[in-house]
Structures are given as structure tokens and as C-alpha cells.
């Protein structure tokens, strides 16, 4: 991977899958961190990631710590084999792994934040259930204009040109979906989630999470981080803390994140975590090539260097 401007990006909830920790090259710290995650969550995360049902690992209290560890571990492996990223970013939950890899806080502190974040979000869902839907074929501005006339529904993720996610109260999301189809959306696909993530319905969880961040030790980032709520490269600890506090109840501005990362041209996006969702989104943005750690050639390179 030498001779390129690499940016590491870390996927978020939805990318979890059975066995997602099993393909990671041997990393001594991972076993210890899994012990800590099981103690923090009270759940048998090792068994769930190997034998759980899709529904069991989709539970936000299971998916978030497992994904955080998978993302962080792949990030560490890439750093260990000599990848020197010019920037990092993460999609939703993935941002917490990006910050750990950038040295903003320790991996252990990040794990505690993730487990508490998952619990707060699960509690918010129980108090104020909601839903989300992916809108295909419309640009973000058009979606936002349609939603101006709606209540209880908001843009949650601007993932890529032509792929927007809306979030809110169930009936409001359904009504907005019909309005968006009338406005020219190619498809509106309900997402298999229990809550209205990245919307004002998560504000109580965001407020509680912010108080946790206030007592967590943050450091200057060793490499610029492009965050969901403020998609410009940042290294200042207080700026990063503030943007992370806003993230739970704010939209994931991923299209803007990709444009910010594209300024490091020529740039290769390396998806450090399960799946290739972020690689797929990057293909819609000019000036970015992309690979995934789960691609055969990347895995072969990593294994050869570690041998």
C-alpha cells in the first residue's frame, strides 16, 4: 500500500455479521478487549459473534461493541503493517473506532463509551420508538425540501449522491416515503432498525452521552479525523469532543466526508472493518479509489507482512 494517500474509514451498525472477528490476523490485545466488553455488557459476545442469529447480533447492545472491536482491530493491523493514513473517518458507530485509531482516546476508554452509547440508544428506542428508510434516486437537497412539509421525520444520513436515509416516527417515515416517491425517488426501502437514529428523537441519549464525554480523557489526534457532524479534518481534542457529542442526534454527513477526504488526492479509501458498504458508497464520488480489508488481495498483503 505504499505510494498512495491512504484514508482509513470504519463502518458502522448494519455491517455486523456472524464471524466478523474470526478473519482478523492475530492481535494479542483483542482477546483482552473482548473480556472487557463482555464484563461491560454482561453478554457472551464471543459466542454471539460466532454462533448468534442475525437478530441477536443486530441488537444495538451487541452490534456496537463487536463492530467497534472489529473496526479498531483492523485499523491496528493496517498501522502495524506500515499503512500511514493521511486521515481517518468512521460512519456513525465507526467514528468511535476512528478516534481510537487516531489516538484521541485509548481503545479501552473508547470501548466504555461504545457500550454506554449502545445502552443509551437502546433506552431511547424503548422510550420513543421510530424507524428509518433509505431513499434511492434523489439528491439530499430534494429530500430535505420534501421533508420541510413533514413533521416527525428528518434526514439522518446523506450517504452518497442518490442515497439518503430518513429517520423519525414510524407513521411520519411512512408518509414521507410516499411523498418522496411522488417527488421522483426510485425506491424507498424501510430499514430493519428499531429506532430513529441520528434524529432529534435521540437527543436525550445524546445529552447523556455528552456528559460521559466530558469526563473522558481526550488527546490531540495523531492524524486528522473527519467527523460525521462536522465533516472537515480536525485534530483539536475539544473540537473532536464537541462534534462527537452532537453525533447521536445529528445527520451522518457522509457525502461531505467523502468530498473532504478526496482533497487528499490521489486518495485510496481503505475500509477497515466488516463488509464493503463504505467502499460501495465511495464509488459514487469522483477522485476516490477504494479497497476493503476483506478483499482477498489486501488480506494476502497483510498476512505476508505479518509473517
In sequence order, the 6+-apart residues with CB closer than 8 A to the CB of 62 are 41, 43, 45, 48, 52, 56
What is the C-alpha to C-alpha distance for residues 137 and 143, in angstroms, rounded to an integer? 10
Burial 124-148 (b: 16+ CB within 10 A, else e): bbeebebbbbbbebbebebbbebbe
Is 259 an annotated catalytic residue?
A: no
Q: How far is CA 130 from the centre of its chain?
A: 19
- Is 219 an active-site residue? no
Question: What 3-state class would DSSP assign to 246?
Answer: helix
Q: For the chain, what is the radius of gyration of the CA atoms?
A: 18
Q: Give the relative orientation of helices 170-182 and 140-147 as an angle to the nearest 10 degrees.
A: 120
Q: Which of 15, 131, 167, 198 is catalytic?
A: 198
Give the C-alpha separation, 134 to 126, whole Å.
22
Active-site residue identified among 92, 167, 172, 292:
92
Please list the alpha-helical segments (H only) found in the chain.
28-41, 45-51, 54-58, 60-80, 94-101, 107-127, 140-147, 170-182, 203-214, 237-247, 254-262, 277-282, 296-306
C-alpha cell at 212: 460521559
Cell of 304: 505476508
* Cβ atoms of residues 199 and 130 within 8 Å: yes
- The separation between the first and the last C-alpha atoms of the chain, rounded to the nearest angstrom, is 17
Active-site residue list: 92, 198
Amino acid at each position: 500500500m505504499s505510494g498512495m494517500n491512504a484514508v482509513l474509514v470504519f463502518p458502522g451498525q448494519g455491517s455486523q455479521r456472524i464471524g466478523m472477528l474470526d478473519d482478523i490476523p492475530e492481535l494479542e490485545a483483542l482477546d483482552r478487549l473482548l473480556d472487557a466488553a463482555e464484563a461491560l455488557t454482561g453478554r457472551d459476545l464471543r459466542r454471539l459473534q460466532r454462533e448468534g442469529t442475525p437478530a441477536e447480533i443486530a441488537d444495538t447492545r451487541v452490534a456496537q461493541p463487536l463492530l467497534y472491536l472489529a473496526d479498531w482491530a483492523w485499523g491496528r493491523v493496517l498501522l502495524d503493517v506500515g499503512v500511514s493514513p493521511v486521515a481517518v473517518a468512521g460512519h456513525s458507530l465507526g467514528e468511535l473506532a476512528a478516534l481510537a485509531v487516531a489516538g484521541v482516546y485509548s481503545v479501552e476508554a473508547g470501548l466504555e463509551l461504545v457500550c454506554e452509547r449502545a445502552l443509551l440508544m437502546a433506552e431511547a428506542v424503548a422510550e420513543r420508538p421510530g424507524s428509518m428508510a433509505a431513499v434511492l434516486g434523489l439528491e439530499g437537497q430534494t429530500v430535505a425540501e420534501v421533508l420541510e412539509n413533514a413533521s416527525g421525520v428528518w434526514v439522518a444520513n446523506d450517504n452518497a449522491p442518490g442515497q439518503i436515509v430518513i429517520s423519525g416516527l414510524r407513521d411520519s417515515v411512512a408518509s414521507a416515503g410516499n411523498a418522496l416517491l411522488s417527488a421522483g425517488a426510485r425506491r424507498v426501502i424501510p430499514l430493519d432498525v428499531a429506532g430513529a437514529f441520528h434524529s432529534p428523537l435521540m437527543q436525550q441519549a445524546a445529552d447523556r452521552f455528552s456528559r460521559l464525554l466530558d469526563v473522558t480523557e481526550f488527546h490531540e489526534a495523531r492524524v486528522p479525523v473527519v467527523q460525521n457532524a462536522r465533516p472537515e479534518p480536525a485534530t483539536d481534542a475539544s473540537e473532536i469532543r464537541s462534534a462527537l457529542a452532537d453525533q447521536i442526534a445529528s445527520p451522518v454527513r457522509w457525502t461531505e466526508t467523502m468530498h473532504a477526504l478526496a482533497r487528499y488526492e490521489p486518495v485510496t479509501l481503505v475500509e477497515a472493518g466488516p463488509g464493503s458498504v463504505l467502499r460501495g458508497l465511495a464509488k459514487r464520488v469522483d477522485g476516490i479509489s477504494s479497497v476493503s480489508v476483506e478483499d482477498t488481495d489486501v488480506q494476502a498483503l497483510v498476512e505476508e507482512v505479518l509473517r
